[in-house]
């Protein structure tokens, strides 16, 4: 049968046999859900089974709810079953069915708050398991009971309202919930206030739970906090109940003005002191302590025209603290009568019970004390010319005693005078110099000298005042400028080089120094024909040649003048060496040597140097002759027997070249033709000097020509060593030299192989002892034992 017929309780008028079993009825009803309603020639349609209602918390279990039947088979030949929540789904075991009779039973307590309805599926099968009818729906509705009390969302509700609020002002809202069916009276809630004290100042809306004010008279200064007991009940107020609390706090408003506790205050202050507290002004304010409604603000209305006093508020006590901010003078005023006003920081409410401001009188008595003297001008600034003689007046640094009603005498003394330059009269404060102050004094800072003078009275104990005396030392133009440098060189061709840069220095301070004026001496007018001076800046000028002059030393007289008042000038000598220059505008070597010998040496000094050279030559001549005579056997025994020129085998290893295969490191042909070295012995350009070279050192003349005979080789070596030791343009003889790696497999033999074919036993090496300490090691190796 494809059509499902659904029968409800009381549908007997349709001709169906149906009765439902619910709690309170005698037995379960019978359903024929698959029974077809007869119809003639029309399409049959399905009926919807109405829900089966059952009350929650029903305890007489198991209880038969309903019985279902199929009219296709006889009783006992149909098997019934149900499926769904409460049967084979969670919660399991709530419902069951008798498979042969079709009776549905309730087996457990129902809780609507957990599950308010169950939707099951009913099946009808024959004994062979074949489906007799299509499955049909079976809905069971759980009927609610009032088994849950209403619950407030909070145990304590809080609210705030301004004091003095008008009736009807919203304060807070209480909320509650009920787990029962909201569609029934079981969840119909009503709110009420059980207790709030007297008078009744608050009300609550029974439906919404809103709490509002109902009367005037909320005064925080009287009652600051109200505690209310609230109740909620279901069943529209007649069912189950719950309670909660509401705490309502009144917020302060400035409805109380501050007031002085007394109409007049008496205080005492000491003269000549500031930054001290004199006393306190007490006030009272009933508003909330610490709030702007409570904080007091004080104002001095009259009695202090010069601003000696100030009042601040103590934030903890709200008292006014009267203090002295400007020193008092007993001699000027011995008592002050002040009128002081107090009010709040925020405006007072219009309904305040008394005036917004309050006033009081404050009497301050000034106490006399001994005061320190006062300098009339401190610091005292004055000026004095540089180099002032002892006894020169400086200033009168006097003070006055403010204690006019006390007869006291003042005295003066120095407290700080680092150069002990000043003298102070102890009775008058008259200051004068007692020595000459050096311009180079370290205590002269930017042209100012500072001293400290003390003034003290004769009271007991005495009071002392400190005064600063600042003296400006006026610069005096007492130094002429000096030429720097005093010598130099110029190229002989006027168009070569950049000229000679001249500068000047002056020991005087500005404005007595630069700009300097450079001038060729007017006493020698012929200087202007060959030389010219052009100014570069305030302190330098450039000297140039007008046309070519003779090379050599020229002494020019220059006149230098500063810009002081009056100006100082000095005529100074400038030594200029005119030399032949290369293309780069630098003097060549010969010219440089000429400049070095002539610079700064007078004729007498040149004579002394020349005499010393001749004397040294006369002393060295006998030594050289004796050394040559003693070395002659060695020279004749060693060198004449050689078939080859030994100089061809000498390599200069001081050159850091690439070894013996490096033919550019040293030209061996120079040893074969020594006579040709004379033309090559003068290097171009200015020679380099060592850092320890004295400024007055003169480069020695070039070495003499290499000997052409092997017999003169010993003398040549000795002279060369002596020249190398005294030449400051090359490293000293004991300087460590680092040589490059010269490779392996040299074609030359070792040094020990030199002259080995002649036989060492035939040679006389005794003369090595006379060659000096450099040949001592060779003498030990080859000389006689």
Residue 352: per-residue pLDDT: 62
Under the banding of pLDDT at 50, 70 and 90, the label for residue 350 is low
Under the banding of pLDDT at 50, 70 and 90, the label for residue 732 is low
Question: How far is residue 585's CA from residue 2's CA, in Å, rounded to a whole number?
Answer: 130
Three-state DSSP class for residue 252:
coil
Residue in 374, 427, 419 with CA at minimum distance from that of residue 401: 374
**Residue-wise pLDDT tens digits, 51-84:** 888 888 777 888 888 887 777 766 667 888 888 8
Hey, which of 11-15, 144-148, 290-294, 685-689 has the most confident mean pLDDT? 290-294
Average pLDDT over residues 24-33: 51
Average pLDDT over the chain, rounded to whole?
Answer: 76
Lowest mean pLDDT among 16-25, 53-62, 88-97, 602-611: 16-25
pLDDT at 562 over 60: yes
Look at 592 and 1; give whichever has higher pLDDT.
592
pLDDT at 746 over 80: no
The answer, as to whether pTM is greater than 0.75, is no
How far CA 539 is from CA of 215, 516, 531, 562, 669, in Å, comes to: 98, 6, 19, 10, 55
Under the banding of pLDDT at 50, 70 and 90, the label for residue 88 is confident
Residue 692: per-residue pLDDT: 52
Lowest mean pLDDT among 119-133, 157-171, 461-475: 119-133
Average pLDDT over residues 773-777: 74
pLDDT at 49 over 80: no
Q: Which residues contact 75 (CB under 8 A, 6 or more apart)?
A: none
Q: Which residues contact 455 (CB under 8 A, 6 or more apart)?
A: 373, 375, 398, 399, 410, 411, 412, 429, 464, 465, 467
Say how many C-beta atoms besides its own lie within 10 A of residue 672's C-beta: 11
Residue in 230, 220, 138, 159 with CA at minimum distance from that of residue 191: 230
Show the CA angle centred on residue 656, arms to residues 655 and 657, nearest 5°.
Answer: 95
Under the banding of pLDDT at 50, 70 and 90, the label for residue 278 is very high
Lowest mean pLDDT among 469-478, 587-596, 734-743: 734-743
How far CA 397 is from CA of 391, 401, 407, 426, 709, in Å, comes to: 16, 14, 21, 11, 94
Residue 595: per-residue pLDDT: 46
Average pLDDT over residues 714-729: 69
Question: How far is residue 337's CA from residue 339's CA, in Å, rounded to a whole number?
Answer: 7
Residue 685: per-residue pLDDT: 40
**Residue-wise pLDDT tens digits, 104-154:** 888 888 888 788 889 888 888 888 778 877 888 888 888 877 878 899 999
Residue 678: per-residue pLDDT: 40
pLDDT at 627 over 50: yes
**Residue-wise pLDDT tens digits, 379-410:** 999 998 888 889 999 999 988 888 777 778 88
Lowest mean pLDDT among 4-8, 200-204, 482-486, 651-655: 4-8
Residue 406: per-residue pLDDT: 74
Under the banding of pLDDT at 50, 70 and 90, the label for residue 742 is low
Lowest mean pLDDT among 63-72, 115-124, 247-256, 706-715: 706-715
**Residue-wise pLDDT tens digits, 310-342:** 999 999 999 999 999 999 988 888 899 999 999
Domains of the chain: 52-143 (2.60.40.60), 151-251 (2.60.40.60), 259-367 (2.60.40.60), 374-474 (2.60.40.60), 482-579 (2.60.40.60)
Lowest mean pLDDT among 33-42, 223-232, 429-438: 33-42
Q: Which residues contact 19 (CB under 8 A, 6 or more apart)?
A: 9, 27, 28, 29, 30
pLDDT at 773 over 70: yes
Look at 513 and 270; give whichever has higher pLDDT.
270
414 bridge partner residues: 453
Residue 180: per-residue pLDDT: 83
Q: Which residues contact 351 (CB under 8 A, 6 or more apart)?
A: 164, 255
pLDDT at 696 over 70: no
Question: How far is residue 395's CA from residue 388's CA, in Å, rounded to a whole number?
Answer: 14
**Residue-wise pLDDT tens digits, 166-178:** 999 999 999 999 8
Say how many C-beta atoms besides its own lie within 10 A of residue 122's C-beta: 25
How far CA 67 is from CA of 19, 75, 95, 276, in Å, comes to: 9, 13, 13, 104
Phi and psi (nearest 5°) for 131? -75, 125
């Amino acid at each position: 049968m494809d059509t499902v017929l659904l029968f409800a309780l009381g549908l007997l008028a349709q001709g169906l046999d149906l009765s439902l079993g619910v709690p309170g009825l005698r037995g379960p009803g019978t359903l024929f859900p698959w029974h077809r309603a007869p119809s003639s020639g029309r399409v049959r349609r399905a009926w919807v089974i109405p829900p089966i209602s059952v009350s929650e918390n029903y305890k007489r279990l198991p209880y038969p709810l309903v019985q279902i039947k199929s009219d296709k088979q006889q009783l006992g030949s149909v098997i019934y079953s149900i499926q769904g929540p409460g049967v084979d789904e969670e919660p399991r075991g709530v419902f069951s069915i008798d498979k042969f009779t079709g009776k549905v039973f309730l087996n457990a307590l129902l809780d609507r708050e957990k599950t308010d309805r169950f939707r099951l599926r009913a099946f009808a099968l024959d004994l062979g398991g074949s489906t007799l009818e299509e499955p049909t729906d079976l809905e069971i509705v759980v009927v609610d009971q009032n088994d849950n009390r209403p619950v407030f969302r909070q145990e304590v509700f809080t609210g705030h309202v301004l004091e003095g609020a008008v009736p009807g002002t919203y304060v807070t809202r209480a909320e509650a919930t009920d787990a029962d069916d909201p569609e029934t009276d079981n969840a119909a809630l009503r709110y009420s206030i059980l207790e709030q004290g007297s008078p009744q100042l608050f009300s609550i809306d029974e439906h919404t739970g809103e709490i509002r004010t109902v009367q005037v008279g909320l005064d925080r200064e009287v009652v600051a906090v109200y505690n209310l007991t609230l109740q909620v009940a279901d069943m529209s107020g007649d069912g189950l109940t719950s309670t909660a609390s509401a705490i309502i706090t009144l917020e302060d408003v400035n409805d109380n003005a501050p007031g002085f506790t007394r109409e007049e205050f008496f205080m005492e202050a000491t003269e000549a002191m500031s930054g001290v507290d004199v006393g306190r002004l007490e006030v009272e304010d009933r508003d909330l302590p610490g709030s702007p409604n409570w904080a007091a603000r004080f104002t001095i209305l009259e009695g202090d025209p010069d601003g000696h006093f100030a009042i601040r508020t103590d934030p903890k006590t709200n008292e006014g603290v009267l203090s002295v901010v400007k020193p008092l003078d007993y001699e000027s005023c011995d008592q002050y009568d002040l009128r002081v006003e107090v009010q709040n920081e925020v405006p007072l409410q219009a309904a305040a019970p008394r005036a917004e401001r309050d006033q009081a009188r404050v009497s301050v008595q000034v106490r006399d004390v001994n005061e320190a003297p006062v300098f009339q001008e401190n610091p005292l600034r004055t000026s004095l010319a540089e180099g002032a003689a002892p006894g020169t007046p400086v200033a009168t640094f006097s003070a006055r005693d403010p204690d006019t009603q006390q007869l006291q005498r003042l005295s003066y003394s120095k407290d700080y005078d680092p150069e002990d330059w000043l003298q102070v009269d102890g009775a008058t404060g008259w200051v004068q110099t007692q020595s000459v102050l050096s311009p180079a004094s370290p205590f002269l800072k930017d042209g100012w000298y500072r001293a400290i003078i003390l003034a003290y009275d004769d009271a007991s104990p005495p009071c002392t005042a400190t005064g600063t005396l600042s003296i400006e030392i006026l610069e005096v133009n007492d130094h002429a400028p000096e030429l720097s440098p005093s010598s130099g060189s110029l190229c002989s061709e006027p168009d070569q080089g950049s000229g000679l840069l001249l500068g000047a220095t002056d020991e005087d301070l500005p404005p007595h120094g630069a700009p300097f004026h450079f001038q060729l001496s007017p006493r020698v007018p012929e200087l202007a024909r060959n030389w010219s001076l052009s100014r570069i800046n305030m302190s330098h000028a450039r000297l140039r040649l007008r046309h070519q002059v003779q090379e050599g030393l020229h002494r020019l007289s220059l006149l230098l003048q500063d810009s002081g008042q009056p100006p100082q000038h000095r005529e100074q000598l400038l030594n200029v060496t005119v030399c032949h220059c290369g293309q780069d505008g630098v003097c060549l070597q010969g010219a440089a040597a000429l400049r070095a010998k002539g610079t700064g040496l007078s004729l007498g000094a040149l004579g002394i140097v020349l005499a010393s050279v001749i004397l040294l030559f006369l002393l060295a001549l006998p030594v050289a002759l004796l050394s040559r005579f003693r070395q002659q056997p060695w020279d004749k025994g060693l060198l004449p027997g050689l078939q080859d020129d030994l100089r061809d085998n000498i390599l200069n290893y001081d050159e850091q070249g690439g070894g013996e295969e490096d033919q550019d490191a040293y030209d061996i042909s120079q040893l074969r033709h020594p006579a040709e070295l004379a033309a090559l012995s003068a290097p171009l350009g200015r020679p380099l000097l060592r850092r320890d070279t004295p400024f007055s050192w003169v480069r020695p003349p070039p070495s003499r020509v290499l000997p052409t005979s092997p017999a003169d080789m010993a003398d040549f070596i000795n002279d060369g060593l002596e020249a190398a030791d005294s030449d400051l343009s090359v490293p000293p003889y004991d300087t460590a030299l680092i040589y490059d790696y010269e490779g392996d497999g040299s074609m030359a033999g070792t040094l020990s192989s030199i002259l080995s074919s002649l036989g060492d036993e035939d040679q006389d090496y005794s003369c090595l002892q006379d060659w000096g300490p450099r040949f001592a090691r060779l003498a030990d190796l080859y000389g006689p034992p």
